[in-house]
Structure formats: C-alpha cells, structure tokens
Structure 1
C-alpha cells in the first residue's frame, strides 16, 4: 500500500465493541480516545488494559504511549519509548510473558524505517531495549509463538517483504522461512502450534489469501482466501476463530471497509459476520475477555463470550453509506450457533 494513501484519511476517536453472542457492534459513551489516532501499535494486558503506542493524528506522526483501563474508562500516559524518542507510525506490537514488545515502524521526521525493538514492563512502568531487527521494516506483523517472537513481512522503504525474523530467548534475531508471498499491512495471529497470516499488499494489489506457518518443519502452506481482499486491518483470535476487521479494500483507492469476517481453521473457510458501524482502517483488534466488561457494555444477563475491541481510521462520514453498499461475494450463511460454539473459552 502507498503509505501516503493511508495518511490522507481522517483518524477518529471512538472505539467499537463487538458482542459475539448477539453478532452486533456498538459504541460506548465515554470510551473515546483522548484525540483522533490511527496506524498505532497496540496490545491489551490483564484482559482490560489497552496499551497504544505511536500512530498518526491526522496531521503528524505521534510518539505518545497511552493506557486505557476498560473497567474504569480512564486514559493515562505512559513513558515514551527509550530508544527512539521520535514519532513513530506503522509499528507492530505483541504480548509475551506480561510485557509488550514493539518493533519496527516508520519515522516521519527521519523518513526512514526502524530496526529497533523495545519491550514495556507494566509492573515497573518502564521500557527496555531488545536486540534490533536484522532488516528495518514497517507495516509488518509481530506475534509470539512458543516463547519466540516472529516479525513477518512488511515494507523496508524499497520493497514489500516476504522475509520472517525470529527472536529466541536470550538470543538475536535470525531469519526463518520466508512466506510464499510478499506482504505488507498483513494480519497475523498465533494459534497453538502455528502462525496464520492473511491479506496485506504485495506492492501491486491487495491480497485475500492466507498462509499457515509450521515452526517444526519451517514451512508455509496456502490457506483459503478471505471474502474481501484487505490490508491494514485488525485481526484477533477468539476461541477457535480468527476475525478480520475493516482495513483497506474498497473499489476506490484508499477506501476503508466496514466488513468483518470470521475464519474457522478446522474447515479452512471464512464467513461474513456483522459489519462495523463505521468503515475504518489502520486499526487494531483486541480481545477483552472479561465478564464485568461485557456486563458494563451490554447490561444484559446473556451468556458472555469475548468482546472484540477495535479503533482507528475512517473516511469522512459521507463515505459510510457507500461503503456499506459494496458489492462483495458472500459465502455460506452463518450456521446456527456457530459463533458461540467456536468462541466459547472451553471449546
């Protein structure tokens, strides 16, 4: 994706919540970000504490690091990253052992891609340095599998990457097996024994297909495509399912999506689920698996599943009606009880 394309849209402040039991989205009063923001890195800790790093506020890149407590509805500032005290956008984040790792990204002032990796410890409220990546990259995916970090794909300023780097404990980054396709703005999740990646942009077009990585054999295999090709979208796994949320993918350049899909790895198939209330891209998707949060958001006594949280970027409001009418292929309708059965924590 042309990064300037993403920075021509208008960041927003509001969050949206998805209730699996109702297959419905909502906005919650008082749960807005302090200021508009997009293309940030983010992760959730302790089931209800959302952490955001860097991003774009509509005019300039940001170096802000902030925490949002979903139970109290309060935002607080966090220390700035120690190694790169400059604005950062298009970075990647993941959690491992109670700490959040942030890798790569793009520095607007320096006009370069970052190799740096840092980790944030919420107990001491401080950052520490991690060995640099071998290759500078932004718009990559960062996941934790079996106690190892994997940085996947991205853009180095010249080319879209298929390369993958792996960091084992007390070691340095080494290259792992390349993906079958080069991808930036991709989505990735770690499931037991494997990593799944989907979508992205290969430098020529947005992608719909996915790949599965087996760490034992160091091999990638292709997976079924999403209904909608997309890049710079939110992705999260709940139970046995993987959700792809929003992103770029409309028929016009730079048009964000409201469409949401759910993937069942057991049958290698995607199903469309309820759209978001607003089309948006440059977002993150997190899982807030907290009963009290579900009660607070919905005020109902139904069985609670997980709550999917997203936030970020949408076109001007007049685009919403058009985006909601996109002509996209539809897969089979959702089987009765399929969402609930496959996202139950005991599944």
Structure 2
C-alpha cells in the first residue's frame, strides 16, 4: 500500500503470516495521491498522481521487494492523476485521468525492454476517475466523471470500441474480473455508490448484481 494525501510512505502485509501486522518498507521517492498502481514483472509500479500541492506528476516508480528499493523508470509522456493503469503481457498501459487542467482521453504504454513510454490510440471519450481492467486479453476503460459509457481496447489492432454502457454513471468506482465477468463497484452519482454491476461479454450487457451495505467511493477491490 503506497502513498495517499501528501504521503510517500509504503506499508506491507505478509499474507503468509496469519497474525502478522502491517510494517513499513522503503518510501517512494515522491509524495503521491490519486496515483495508479499495477504489478510489472513481480514489482509494484506506481505512476503519476498529485504531490498534494498543485503539481500533477508524470513520474513512475518501481518497487523491488527483494532489495526494498524504489527506482524511477521513464516518466509518462503526460502528467496524470485520477487515471487508470493496468499491466498485461509484460507491459504497462495507462489511460485517462486529469493533467493540471484537462480531462484526458490519451493512452500510453511502457515496455521495459525499450525503457520508454509511447503513445497509443486515444479513447473515444475523456475519462477522469475511471476504472480499468484487463478482460479476455483486452483493456476496458469503465465510466469516469459523468459517464456511463465503457470502451474496450484491442492491443493487437490499437483500436478502441464502445461496448455496452453501465446502468449508472460511475466516478471513483473500482473494478475487478472474476468468474468470467467484470464487476464494477461503487462510485459517485445516484445509487451507484452502493450498487455492483457485472459485465458479460457474451451478451455485451451490464446487469445490477447486488448492493454493498456501505456506500463506496474511491475504494479498491481485488478478486481472490
């Protein structure tokens, strides 16, 4: 767990120790809030975010748990916070968010073998506070500020295609893939803060599955 409001501190919980506590590990090089994270080659990657002041970041750091060190890799081409970051097939993909002033539809990818970020096809819509997942070997950009729409990125053809829309606008939701479906949870607007929707690609449709007990905004989720 890394960063937060005006924080660069990082904590770790070893799940192999049933009664273990969270403990502090090496801090990131920069304070980061509303950053995005993913796993790249068994290392934790944290990209972008805000330093808690007026600065939006393009810098990216990798944490190596074996040696307990954070290392800066090449910066993104665009400063981003409230964006999405996913890892697929040994590469990082980041898309959407905000720079200092503007909503973003741009996307870029990092290949560690080349050591640099390169621009890819932009999304069809600007999305801030979106969710991003990899599903069926494609990347999904889900919702965002004022949006119900969802887009799917084909890595082979470098194209974005709109798919079925959510039932609610979702800003600050979280998403994961489990049992062959995408689940998106919470976020701002209407009843979205409690509801959970699931996407089935075989019918290209989102359905309300259930509600959480507590409204959720800016939460995180994983599938176990």
Which interval holds the TM-score relative to the shorter structure? over 0.9
Q: Is residue 218 of structure 1 aligned with residue 158 of structure 2?
A: yes
Match of 2:134 in 1: 190
Runs of 4 or more, structure 1, over 3 Å off, are: 69-73
Higher relative CO (Cα under 8 Å, sequence separation at least 6) belongs to 1
**1:286 match: secondary structure:** coil
Please point out which of 223, 232, 249 is paired with 2:189. Answer: 249
Structure 1 stretches lacking a partner, 5+ long: 1-51, 290-347
User: How far apart, CA to CA, are the structure 1 residues paired with 2:75 and 2:139?
Assistant: 22
User: How far apart, CA to CA, are the structure 1 residues paired with 2:205 and 2:51?
Assistant: 38
TM (normalized to structure 2)? 0.93
Match of 2:7 in 1: 62
Deviation string, structure 1 residues 270-319 (Cα, Å, up to 9, x no partner): 121221221121111112x3xxxxxxxxxxxxxxxxxxxxxxxxxxxxxx
TM (normalized to structure 1)? 0.61
Structure 2 stretches lacking a partner, 5+ long: none
**2:22 match: secondary structure:** strand
Match of 1:78 in 2: 25
User: How far apart, CA to CA, are the structure 1 residues paired with 2:181 and 2:66?
Assistant: 31
Measured after TM superposition, the shift of residue 73 of structure 1 is 5.3
User: Counterparts of 1:1-347 in structure 2 under 5 Å?
Assistant: 52-56=1-5, 61-70=6-15, 71-72=18-19, 74-82=21-29, 84=30, 87-109=31-53, 111-171=54-114, 172-201=116-145, 206-250=146-190, 257-287=193-223, 289=224
Q: How many residues align?
A: 221
Would you tell me which structure has more helix in proportion to its own residues?
Answer: 1
User: How far apart, CA to CA, are the structure 1 residues paired with 2:125 and 2:102?
Assistant: 13
